[in-house]
Amino acid sequence: MKQFAIFNIIILSLLASGCNSTKNKIGAAAVSDLEGSFTVTESEETTSKAETITFTLSPKKKTIKGTTGCNSFFGRFEIDVYAINFLEIAASERYCSEPIMDAERLFLNALRQTGSYAIKNGTLLLYSKTDRSVVLKAVKDQNTEVN
C-alpha cells in the first residue's frame, strides 16, 4: 500500500511539472509575439485618427512606450500567459485638435481596461478585463527591434 501511495505521488508530480512546462512554452511563444512596434487600427468605438497611434512593447523590460499622434506615453505591464495588465500609464500633456485628443483618450482608457490579449492573423487584440470585448486592435510593424 505504501508503494502504491509513493507511485501515485510520483505520477502526480510528473503530471504537474509537465503541465507547467507546457504553460511556460506557450507563454514564451506568446510573449515573443508581443515584442516590437505596433500601429493601432481600432480603439473602442472609433477608428478615426487611430492610425496615428503607435506603441512599442518590450516584454523583457515589461515596458510600453509610444505616441498618440500628439503626446508621447509610457508605462509598464505585467503578463502571465495570455493575461496582460498595463500599469502606471503616463502621457505628456500637449494640447492637440479634438479628434486626436479623443482618439488618445480612448486609446489610453483601452490600455487601462485591458485584461488579456490574443494575436490573430498578425493583429494584436486587447480584451476588456470585465466582459472580454475587444478594446483595441493593432498590427505589428514589420522589421522592428526592441532595445
Highest-confidence range of 16-20, 36-40, 47-51, by mean pLDDT? 36-40
Lowest mean pLDDT among 36-40, 90-94, 140-144: 140-144
Q: Is the pLDDT of residue 91 over 70?
A: yes
Q: Is 66:54 a contact under the CB 8 Å cutoff?
A: yes
Assigned domain for 134 exists: yes
> What's the pTM?
0.72
CATH code for the domain in which residue 57 is found: 2.40.128.270
Residue-averaged pLDDT of the chain: 80
Q: Is the pLDDT of residue 23 over 60?
A: no
Domain ranges, residue 111 = 2-140
Assigned domain for 147 exists: no
Distance separating alpha carbons of residues 96 and 100, to the nearest angstrom: 7
Assigned domain for 124 exists: yes
- Residues 43, 45, 51, 53: what is their CA dihedral angle, to the nearest 10 degrees? -40
Assigned domain for 100 exists: yes
Residue bearing cell 498578425: 122
Assigned domain for 43 exists: yes
Tell me which H or E stretch contains 69.
none
Q: How many domains does the chain have?
A: 1
Assigned domain for 15 exists: yes
